[in-house]
Structure 1
Amino acid sequence: MASSVHSSLPAPALHASKAALNAALSDIEASEPGEVQEIEVDMAAQAETLKTVFNDPKNFNVKHPLYSAWTLWFDSPATKGRNLPQTPVTAFPQTPHPGTPGGAAAHGWMEDIKRVINIDSVEEFWGLYNNILPPSALPQKANYYLFKEGIIPAWEDEANKLGGKWSIQLPKEKNRRHVDTLWLYTMLAAIGETFDPYLTDPELLEPHPESLVTGVIVSSRPQFYRISIWTRSAPGINSEDDDKLRQRIEGIGRHFKTSVLGYNEGQKLAGPLATEVEFISHKDSEKKGKGRKITV
């Protein structure tokens, strides 16, 4: 899996960001399946220096900015109905969320979800990753949501309401050793902006289109894990340029299936407790299984 950074970044920043993500991925891919490699990051030391790669592109002891800032959210049965000062999965203090989407149901749901921390650099990502529980250790019915800063992980958010999601359901017993690595790869593809190649297509005129990906989610359930990628648009919701949009949406799904999850493009995955890599719009999801799905 290769990482990608928006081509409008200055050349030194582009090179350093690619190098940082590629180096991390190389180390991870060299490990055994299911084995997540620990990477030590001194967050206190990073916080003391305000330098970024824009100030010092030749040294690696500076922050390497991501194309977008991201926010990690978390919920579990332990957080529901409780105003906890911090979540049980991390030592980071929570940051109050900026607001809630409309609707009484959404408001009640937002009272249960906890905003953990914002990140905007490669170093902050690894510092966060090494200080939270992996998905395999989460309690049942718990969820991690990694969404672009300013986007609430709810259908009602303006960035999500016309979109949909790619998702795959994986039987728990067969994937307990692998889900941590699959979730890590999903997050790296998201923060590296590799899901939607239109962002970095050199043939496209400036400005490049807005990224379709708004966030990624991993959910732990009694018998399975689910990993999802949310998009801001979905085919059939807006008829304008629907063919091009469908191509972009399908490209995200193929990249998710082959480069992130490691399956062959034509491989069939459905079985007991397992699904194919499927896309459905949020509006169709409300129809409880009767909506139109795209599979890759």
Structure 2
Amino acid sequence: MTSTASSLPVSALQASQAAVNAALAENEIKEKENGKANGDESLEPGEIQEVDMQAQADAIRTVFSDPTNFNVKHPLYSPWTLWFDSPATKGRNLPQTPMSSFPQTPLPQTPGAAAAQGWMEDIKRVISFDSVEEFWGMYNNIVPPSQLPQKANYYLFKEGIIPAWEDEANKNGGKWSIQLPKDKNRSNVDKMWLYTMLAAIGETFDPQLSESSPQSLITGVIVSTRPQFYRLSIWTRAAPTGAGEDEKLRERIEAIGRHFKISVLGYSESQKLAGPLATEVEFLSHKDSEKKGKAAKKPWVV
């Protein structure tokens, strides 16, 4: 591992070490299998062929040491795409960055994409990735939320889903969100955003994701910077409807909000967060978010 890793967060170092260890173990198994396949007569029965671990370690390239030619890749459950917009990027292309060497996907041609065409003209697709290594390569090459200009947004959504209400995956859903005063959270928002992304790509938000229910309710996560506050949001593909609603869906949605508040953001379950420029962890369906005045519903709070 090169010195690049020494300045990474602890969680990144752990992910990197896990990648190296997994690759070493896999190479050692393959080496043993190759020895058997080749009928290596130099080994006594029960003897294990010695492996030059240092030589193999030197041959391993992770995204930390070689962002374009790494040979260790641990796939995620789903591929993801990072999007970005700010007043400075409207009507302009983003400057080239080290991330431009990663493969990118075209804008999905869905009915939702067509409906949100005007919105999507100002939002820029930064990168698509589908592995742990590519995620950390992305994370270590983007500006953290605390340093973004006012009215800027990062959108991390599953590949093929655009960050707009009109998308087919979002139109019947909603979002958990929290608003935090900027002056009190400038030192915390980067960690909160990192943990939110890790929970999303690690598929830990949705407690009922399983082989029998393989589609997660999570479609994407967003961090927004505003003149006086930050906002973190988690978008879901479904939302309770109220009348005759599925109680299991409500429980599943609520579990996402609790996990966000307690395990990701680090607050206690009973902690009250609302105050000047601050909100609780709140849920609203996208349809309810559009309603104004007396028709507007109060958000669901955990």
Settle same-fold status: TM greater than 0.5: yes
Residue number in structure 1 paired with 2:49 = none
State the shift of 1:197 in Å. Answer: 1.4
Q: Which of 85, 88, 96 is the equivalent residue of 1:75?
A: 85
Segments of 5+ residues of structure 2 without an aligned counterpart are 1-10, 19-62
State whether structure 2 residue 27 is matched by structure 1 residue 23: no
8 Å Cα contact 2:284-2:299 kept in structure 1: yes
Residue number in structure 2 paired with 1:218 = 223
8 Å Cα contact 1:160-1:214 kept in structure 2: yes
Q: C-alpha separation between the residues in 1 aligned to 2:227 and 2:281?
A: 20
State the shift of 1:91 in Å. Answer: 3.3
8 Å Cα contact 1:21-1:122 kept in structure 2: no
String of CA shifts for 1:216-245, please: whole Å, max 9, x gaps. Answer: 0000000000000000000017846x1000
Find the residue that maps to 1:279 and give its secondary structure: strand
8 Å Cα contact 1:164-1:232 kept in structure 2: yes
Larger Rg: 2
String of CA shifts for 1:235-287, please: whole Å, max 9, x gaps. Answer: 017846x1000000000000000000000001100000000000000000001
State whether structure 2 residue 267 is matched by structure 1 residue 260: no
String of CA shifts for 1:13-66, please: whole Å, max 9, x gaps. Answer: xxxxxxx98934999xxxxxxxxxxx93521231xx4xxxxxxxxxxxx21110
Residue number in structure 1 paired with 2:138 = 128
Residue number in structure 1 paired with 2:73 = 63
Question: Which aligned pairs between 1:1-296 and structure 2 lie closer than 5 A?
Answer: 23-24=14-15, 40-46=64-70, 49=71, 62-82=72-92, 84=93, 86-87=94-95, 90-93=97-100, 96-99=106-109, 102=112, 106-200=116-210, 206-236=211-241, 239=244, 242-288=246-292, 290-296=296-302
Find the residue that maps to 2:107 and give its secondary structure: coil
When the two structures are superposed, what TM-score results if normalisation uses the length of structure 2? 0.74
Letter of the structure 1 residue corresponding to residue 183 of structure 2:
E
Q: C-alpha separation between the residues in 2 aligned to 1:291 and 1:64?
A: 43
8 Å Cα contact 2:161-2:169 kept in structure 1: yes
Q: C-alpha separation between the residues in 2 aligned to 1:152 and 1:267?
A: 33
8 Å Cα contact 2:108-2:161 kept in structure 1: no
Letter of the structure 2 residue corresponding to residue 91 of structure 1:
P
Q: C-alpha separation between the residues in 2 aligned to 1:162 and 1:153?
A: 14
Find the residue that maps to 2:87 and give its secondary structure: coil
Segments of 5+ residues of structure 1 without an aligned counterpart are 1-19, 28-38, 50-61, 201-205
When the two structures are superposed, what TM-score results if normalisation uses the length of structure 1? 0.76
State the shift of 1:191 in Å. Answer: 0.4
Find the residue that maps to 2:209 and give its secondary structure: helix
Indicate how the Cα distance of structure 1 residues 41 and 292 shifts in structure 2: closer, same or farther if over 3 A, else same: farther
State the shift of 1:208 in Å. Answer: 2.1
State the shift of 1:291 in Å. Answer: 2.1
Indicate how the Cα distance of structure 1 residues 114 and 95 shifts in structure 2: closer, same or farther if over 3 A, else same: farther
Find the residue that maps to 2:99 and give its secondary structure: coil
State the shift of 1:101 in Å. Answer: 5.1
8 Å Cα contact 1:145-1:153 kept in structure 2: yes
State the shift of 1:171 in Å. Answer: 0.3
More helix by share: 2
Number of equivalences: 243
Letter of the structure 2 residue corresponding to residue 115 of structure 1:
R
Find the residue that maps to 1:43 and give its secondary structure: coil
Q: C-alpha separation between the residues in 2 aligned to 1:68 and 1:104?
A: 24
